[in-house]
Amino acid sequence: MSFKESSAGMITVMTVVAIIVGSILAGFYQMVSPRIEANRLAEEKRAIFSVLPEAKDYVTIDLEVGEGDDKESLMIFRGVDDDNAPVGYAFVSEGPGFAAAIVMMVGLNINTEELTGMKVLEQIETPGLGNKIAMEPFESQFRGLKIKPAITYIKNKKPESDNQIQAITGATISSVAIVKALNKTIKVLMPFILEDIRNPVVIERQVEEEAVPEPKEEEK
Amino acid sequence: MASRSLYSEFTKGIWKENPVIILLLGMCPALAVSNSAVNGLAMGLASTFVVVSASSIVSIIRRLVPAQVRIPTYIVIIAGFVTLADLFLKAYFPAVAKSLGPYVPLIVVNCMIMGRAEFFASKHTLLPAIVDAFGTGIGFTWVLVVVGVVREILGSGSIFNVMLMSEDVFTPWVVMILPAGAFISLGLMIGIINYFKNLKAERAK
């Protein structure tokens, strides 16, 4: 029996192949992961500006929500205009869809209690049906939508009130999943948003951070 | 013999031994992501890349791999290339990566690729293995694009994401973009092709 046919031979071949493939993948991942991360950030930025059309810049506010085991780290984004005055808040909302979690970016105008936009970031709903939640006709329904008392939906008919959207025909589950997730997230985040309006978390504007030369450089 | 057979190794994957319409391999992606022409094309090209790369490597190492562990070895190699393709799409074509979703990683279990590695690449030298895999990849891609075009026209009223008719003139048949539409269009396509093949065989008698 040759070495190749022995158990040791099999183990050697499998191990060598696995190590080579593994190293190539690790190397390639190192190479492209900054780009993948940059794509993600650029998409986040695009999403925030698309749901907060009046914003010229935004401030990221990190939150700790819940107590004990339910503790979650969340983020809200305060959209500001040229004078650094808040124009609205954007946040990520997530809920179970038909196939898997649906993640979306939502913009909220706190004064009018209206959404300023909704954009689906991640979904793997049924192509051609559920994935219409990520398309303009559906997403645009959320522009100017009242959030009080709660967002509701209707099937096969035009919305009857200003807090109602029309669910997509054949994709009710996906449409309703978004409505439910939005209502839930708004309920959770509202106290924090109101708190931020009363006592704004002061964070340097991101654009300025990059532009102003860091005096700390010398101290290092 | 070499040049003629190389040519026939290439063309057999496109028509005579087409993976989807003749061998009925790789049906999962053929049914799942052929709902639009762009998705079909992207899936076809990603699969072509994987089948060509995996077949080349399998052909190169075919004498080194013990027969008992050849399948796991091939799977590791295929999975490696699929992950490369997945990362590449995510980094450079995020929109395509998003629309294909989980079906890119699932190329690993496309039996068309395993089939080429097991039945061809593991028994042939590098050049025929590449040619055979490339022909198979092209054969897979054109079927996905044709099914994708048919389903997109009937199911969404568009072609390569360009609207053909407004929804007032033509109401899209939603069923065509559902799984049922995939079975209907692919089934009819295979049926028509077999009908003409039989007709030709009858006449030849």
Give dist(CA B24, CA A6) in Å, integer: 36
- pLDDT value of position A180: 93
Q: Are residues B90 and B104 in contact, defined by beta-carbon separation less than 8 angstroms? A: no
Q: Which amino acid is at B38?
A: V
Q: Which of B57, B49, B101 is nearest to B76 (CA)?
A: B57
Above 80 in pLDDT, residue A203?
A: no
Confidence (pLDDT) at A161: 86
Read off the pLDDT of each residue in A175-197 and give the average, rounded to a whole number. Answer: 90
Look at residue B3 in the predicted model and tell me its pLDDT.
55
Residue A182 or residue A210, greater confidence: A182
Please answer yes or no on whether B174 and A170 come within 8 Å at the CB atom: yes
Distance from CA of A16 to the nearest CA of B (A): 10
Contact A86, A94 (CB under 8 A): no
Report the residue from A5, A21, A28 with minimal CB separation from B77: A21
Residue of A nearest to B65 (CA): A13
**Confidence grade of residue B111 (pLDDT, cut at 50, 70, 90):** confident
Q: Does B167 contact A at CB distance below 8 Å?
A: no
CB distance B39–A127 less than 8 Å?
yes
- What is the number of other CB atoms lying within 10 angstroms of the CB of residue B100? 25
Dihedral pair phi/psi, residue B189, rounded to 5°: -65, -45
CB contacts of B98 in chain A (<8 Å) are 122
pLDDT score of A20 more than 90: yes
Question: Beta-carbon neighbour count of residue B94 at 10 Å?
Answer: 16
Q: Quick count: other Cβ atoms within 10 Å of Cβ A156?
A: 8
Lowest mean pLDDT among A90-99, A112-121, A202-211, B166-175: A202-211
The answer, yes or no, to whether ipTM is higher than 0.90 is no
At B16 the three-state DSSP class reads coil
Looking at chain A, which residue has its C-alpha nearest residue B88? A32
CA distance B200 to chain A (A): 38
Q: Of B84, B96, B122, which to mutate for an interface test with A (greatest number of A Cβ within 10 Å)? A: B84
Determine contact, residues B119/B12, Cβ cutoff 8 Å. no
d(CA B139, CA B141): 6
Report how far apart, in Å, the C-alpha atoms of B78 and of each of A21, B33, B85, B108 are. 10, 20, 11, 6
Domain containing B16: what range?
2-204
Lowest mean pLDDT among A25-29, A73-77, A185-189, B45-49: A73-77
pLDDT of A156 above 50 = yes
For residue B77, the model assigns a pLDDT of: 94
More confident residue, B7 or B84: B84
Segment A125-144, tens digit of pLDDT: 876 678 889 888 999 999 88
| B154/B174 Cα distance (integer angstroms) | 8
Model pLDDT, residue A204: 54
Q: Which of A18, A12, A21, A7 is nearest to B64 (CA)?
A: A12
Confidence of residue A210 (pLDDT cuts 50, 70, 90): very low
Residues of chain A contacting B, Cβ within 8 Å? 4-5, 9-10, 13-14, 17-18, 21, 24-25, 28-29, 32, 35-36, 39, 43, 122, 124, 126-129, 169-170
Q: Does residue B85 carry a pLDDT above 90?
A: yes
pLDDT tens, A102-117?
999 999 998 888 999 9
Nearest CA in chain B to A24: B80
Mean pLDDT of chain B: 87
Cα–Cα distance for residue pair A45/A48, rounded to 1 Å = 5
Taking CB atoms and an 8 Å limit, are B69 and A127 in contact across chains?
A: no
Strands (E), chain A: 57-65, 72-80, 86-96, 101-109, 114-122, 152-155, 164-167
CA distances (Å), A176 to each of A116, A153, A168, in order? 19, 7, 9
Quick check: A123 and A130 in contact, CB under 8 A? yes
Question: Residue A6 region, left (φ>0) first, then alpha (ψ -120 to 50), else beta?
Answer: beta
Q: How far is CA B123 from CA A52, A211, B120, B128, in A?
A: 60, 62, 5, 10
Separation CA B36–CA B151 (nearest Å): 7
Domain count for chain B, please give it.
1
**In which band, very low, low, confident or very high, does the pLDDT at A176 lie, cut at 50, 70 and 90?**
very high
Closest partner residue to A13 (CB to CB) among B66, B102, B156 is: B66
**Nearest alpha-carbon partner for A98 in A72, A74, A134:** A134
- From the centroid of its chain, how far is CA A114? 19
Taking the CA of residue B42 as centre, how many other CA atoms within 13 Å lie in the half-sphere pointing to its CB? Answer: 24
pLDDT number for residue B4: 57
Q: Do A55 and A109 touch, CB atoms closer than 8 A? A: no
**What residue of A is the nearest CA neighbor of B178?**
A128
Per-residue pLDDT, A214: 46
Query: In angstroms, how far apart are the furthest CA atoms of chain B?
Result: 63
The count of other CB atoms within 10 Å of the CB of residue A199 is 7
Contacts of A9 in chain B (CB under 8 A): 66
Chain A contact set for B87 (CB, 8 A): 28-29, 32, 36
Mean pLDDT of B55-67: 90
Per-residue pLDDT tens over the stretch B164-195: 777 677 777 877 877 888 899 999 999 999 89
The residue type of A62 is: D
* CB spacing of B33 vs A14 below 8 angstroms: no
Residues of B in contact with A19 (CB under 8 A): none
- Smallest CA-to-CA distance from B78 within B58, B98, B63, B59 is with B58
Distance (Å) from the alpha carbon of B154 to chain A's nearest alpha carbon = 12
Greater pLDDT, B15 or A164: A164
- CA B68 centroid distance within chain: 28
User: Quick one: angle between helices B37-60 and B126-156, nearest 10?
Assistant: 170
Q: Sketch the domain layout of chain A as residue ranges.
A: 1-47, 90-198
Shortest CA distance from A27: residue in chain B: B84
Which of A9, A43, A169 is opposite residue B66, by nearest beta carbon? Answer: A9
